[in-house]
Amino acid sequence: MDAPLLPTTTALPEETRALGQQFAAFFAPGDVVALSGELGSGKTCFVQGVVEGLGGKRDDVSSPTFTIAHEYDARIPVYHMDLYRLASLAEARAAGLMEYFERADGVCLVEWPERVAGLLPPGTDVLVFSHAAGGHRTISRGTL
Ligand SMILES: Nc1ncnc2c1ncn2[C@@H]1O[C@H](COP(=O)(O)OP(=O)(O)OP(=O)(O)O)[C@@H](O)[C@H]1O
Ligand SMILES: [Mg+2]
């Protein structure tokens, strides 16, 4: 993935969404991107930006609660997973997570990827979100 320069800091949710929009231009069908980071650090906000950047509707994007994967229509379909509440790898497999990762048509964006670190495809890009001073958010590249 070749994309905006990181690390970067955003002061507002709009800026994190704008970053997601910029990244969207670099995502290709079949990509799996891990969005790591603390609660409330802006991962879902970033997903909204990606969906907008791909021509989808930002309002479709919610924090998946008890559904592991949400699918959003866009030029490239976006598969959004929030694994915060995932109890086990068995649950991940039962929910068809591997099938999503193997799909060649869309982009998988995975919140709380640490829950399934061993299941993610090799070469998964990792973006790390964190809280910074002044209520800002820092987004950097990382590893799981
Ligand atoms: N610079 C910023 N970037 C993103 N969100 C921000 C920023 N500043 C404030 N916020 C607020 O922080 C919250 C981020 O929420 P978001 O759901 O995107 O986090 P998350 O990382 O997905 O959390 P979770 O782990 O609970 O899913 C929102 O309420 C948003 O308005
Ligand atoms: Mg979230």
Structure confidence at residue 2 as a pLDDT band (50, 70, 90): low
Residue 65 scores a pLDDT above 80? no
Predicted local distance difference test score (pLDDT) of residue 3 = 74
Place of tokens 């982009």: 107
Determine the topology of domain 8-141 in CATH.
Rossmann fold (3.40.50)
Predicted local distance difference test score (pLDDT) of residue 1 = 54
**Starting at the edge strand that comes first in sequence, how are the strands of the sheet with 78-82 ordered?**
8-10, 137-141, 125-131, 32-37, 107-111, 78-82, 69-72
Q: Whose CA is nearest to atom 1 of ligand 1?
A: 12
Mean pLDDT, range 33-47, rounded to an integer: 98
Distance 99 CA to ligand 1 centre (A): 28
Q: What is the pLDDT of residues 49-60, one digit of tens each?
A: 999 999 999 999
Predicted local distance difference test score (pLDDT) of residue 68 = 84
> Which of 9, 33, 39, 41 to probe ligand 1 with, by most ligand atoms within 8 A of CB?
41
Distance 45 CA to ligand 1 centre (A): 6
Give the ligand with the smallest distance to the CA of 41.
Answer: 1
What whole-number distance in Å separates Cα of residue 89 and Cα of residue 49?
Answer: 29
Distance 120 CA to ligand 1 centre (A): 24
